[in-house]
Amino acid sequence: MRVLAVESSCDETAVAVYDGPKGELLAHRVHSQTEVHAAYGGVVPELAARDHMRRLPWLARQTMMDAGLGFEAVDAVAYTSGPGLAGALMTGAAFAKGIAASRGVPALGVNHLEGHILAPLLGDDPPAFPFLALLVSGGHSQLIEVLGVGRYRLLGESIDDAIGEAFDKSAKLMGLGYPGGAALSGLAEQGDAEAIRFTRPMINRPGLDLSFSGLKTAVANAVASGAPHADVAASFEKTVIDTLVIKLGRALDQTGLERLVVAGGVAANRPLRARLGALMLERGGTVHFPEVELCTDNAAMIALAGFLRLRAGECDSAAGFSVRARWPLSALRPPGAVA
Ligand code: KG4
Ligand code: ZN
């Protein structure tokens, strides 16, 4: 079963082709819209939807060419149907359903968050189930107990800003552009992480929830007081990672899980990867990251999640389609089960 997948939930337009039975990613492409939104300091939903519409036909043709295949080789189509920006999701869904209808093959709407946490299964070192997943992106910061595909239990999440959002807002305060997470991390390499003592949020509170809006305010104060930006960046990054290490230790103790998966855009952060690698080594467990290019939004992860469900017989009903701006992981069921 060759699956063509489309991702358009936010500001990345992406297409992938995946050979399911072989477990082989044949091709994937991502077009980032950051230039479209940069001047506005954030994603403008209407512009995102329009740009997806403009890019998708070309991107899909190029991706098929990369794979050396024509559209007649597609056996099924998967697309992100939520969570995300409604208009952006709709353009991808309409495009994907159009291809499926014209080829007479099944289509399936896939949960974007499920795509992120299953992305490490595409790598050389796939984790076995069960595992603890830390999903850290621009829109989400969640700790999830993953018992199997479609069997997710939310253990904790950010009660305010997502971690990527905290990176982006802090980066903006330092004039690093948007989205500035990676730029902030680059600047942090030149700073002293001990220079500013930020409070590590929520570590004295029991439970596994997170909070980052207070830290963002502390960053604003430090910047306003004239602290060197590199020191602010390094201290901010270290505080975020320290907090995650503490919460993850707690989650691992509580669940008895020995494998950790880190996914979402912030999983590309190098110091985070190093610290969580050390944490799991110390605990005698393992840590699994998607390849860096599969941490941020992409369609390869949607193809994989789609394949695992399509092969169990799941597919959209023929009539119409719906996208879901909100769609928590805990609402999902194992492949083939009725949701
Ligand atoms: O998963 P993703 O592409 O989109 C969402 O679903 O949100 O994540 C994007 C987020 C942005 O907030 C971006 O600043 C952050 O991931 N990010 C990073 C790094 N690379 C991307 N944050 C910290 N360090 C990085 N190296
Ligand atoms: Zn994402």
Model confidence pLDDT, tens digit, residues 89-143? 999 999 999 999 999 999 999 999 999 999 999 999 899 999 999 999 999 999 9
Mutate to test the pocket of ligand 1, among 178, 266, 327 (most ligand atoms within 8 A of CB): 266
Average confidence (pLDDT) over 307-312: 98
Confidence of residue 160 (pLDDT cuts 50, 70, 90): very high
pLDDT at 204 (0 to 100): 86
Confidence of residue 72 (pLDDT cuts 50, 70, 90): very high
Does ligand 1 lie within 6 Å of residue 296's CB atom? Answer: yes
Mutate to test the pocket of ligand 1, among 11, 43, 167 (most ligand atoms within 8 A of CB): 167
Average confidence (pLDDT) over 148-157: 98
Give the closest ligand to the alpha carbon of residue 273.
1
Which has more pLDDT, 91 or 177?
Answer: 91
Give me ligand 1 centre to Cα 286, in Å: 23
Residue 332 to residue 297: CA distance in whole angstroms = 20
Its pTM surpasses 0.85: yes
Sign of the alpha-carbon torsion through 45, 48, 54, 56: negative
Give me ligand 2 centre to Cα 197, in Å: 31
From the number of C-beta atoms within 10 Å of its C-beta (0-12, 13-18, 19+), residue 54 rates as middle
Average confidence (pLDDT) over 47-75: 98
Residues with Cβ within 8 Å of residue 79, at least 6 apart in sequence: 5, 6, 7, 8, 92, 93, 95, 96, 97, 107, 108, 109, 110, 302, 306
Does ligand 1 lie within 6 Å of residue 79's CB atom? Answer: no
What is the third-level CATH fold of 129-289? Answer: Nucleotidyltransferase; domain 5 (3.30.420)
Average confidence (pLDDT) over 38-45: 90
Give me ligand 1 centre to Cα 297, in Å: 9
pLDDT at 178 (0 to 100): 86
Give me ligand 1 centre to Cα 306, in Å: 23
Q: Does position 339 have pLDDT exceeding 60, yes or no?
A: no
Residue 95 to residue 92: CA distance in whole angstroms = 5
What is the third-level CATH fold of 2-117+295-331? Answer: Nucleotidyltransferase; domain 5 (3.30.420)
Q: Give the distance from CA 210 to its chain's centroid.
A: 17
- Angle among Cα 248, 295, 5 to the nearest 5 degrees reads 130
Domains 2-117+295-331 and 129-289 share a fold: yes
- What rounded mean pLDDT belongs to the chain? 96
Q: Does position 281 have pLDDT exceeding 70, yes or no?
A: yes
Does ligand 1 lie within 6 Å of residue 84's CB atom? Answer: no
pLDDT at 249 (0 to 100): 97
Neighbour count for residue 88 (Cβ, 10 Å): 30
Which has more pLDDT, 202 or 289?
Answer: 289
Confidence of residue 203 (pLDDT cuts 50, 70, 90): confident
Give me ligand 2 centre to Cα 226, in Å: 34
Average confidence (pLDDT) over 160-188: 95
Look up residue 12 and give its DSSP letter: E
Mutate to test the pocket of ligand 1, among 137, 157, 165 (most ligand atoms within 8 A of CB): 137
- Angle among Cα 5, 98, 296 to the nearest 5 degrees reads 25
Does ligand 1 lie within 6 Å of residue 185's CB atom? Answer: yes
- Return the residue whose CA atom lies nearest to atom 16 of ligand 1: 265
By the CB criterion, residues less than 5 angstroms from ion ligand 2 are: 137, 297
Confidence of residue 42 (pLDDT cuts 50, 70, 90): confident
Q: Does position 317 have pLDDT exceeding 90, yes or no?
A: no
Q: Does position 320 have pLDDT exceeding 80, yes or no?
A: no
Q: Does position 321 have pLDDT exceeding 90, yes or no?
A: no
Average confidence (pLDDT) over 56-74: 98
Q: Does position 169 have pLDDT exceeding 90, yes or no?
A: yes
The domain limits of the chain are: 2-117+295-331, 129-289
pLDDT at 298 (0 to 100): 98
